[in-house]
Amino acid sequence: MANIDNISDELLAAYLEGNASADETMQVLDALQTDDILRETLDTALSIDSEEDTHEVLPMMPEHRKGKRTNGR
CB 42 within 8 A of CB 9: no
Has this prediction a pTM greater than 0.85? no
Q: Which residue has better confidence, 60 or 20? A: 20
State how far the Cα of 24 lies from the Cα of 43, in Å rounded to an integer: 19
On average, the pLDDT of the chain sits at 76
pLDDT digits (tens, 9 = 90+) for 31-58: 999 999 999 999 998 888 766 655 455 5
Q: Using the predicted structure, report yes or no on whether residue 20 has a pLDDT greater than 80.
A: yes
Beta strands in 13-68 (DSSP E): none
- pLDDT greater at residue 13 or residue 62: 13
Residue 10, pLDDT above cutoff 50: yes
Inter-CA distances, 40 with 33, 43, 60, 67, Å: 12, 5, 36, 42
Residue 44 to residues 15, 72, 73: CA-CA distances in angstroms? 14, 42, 39
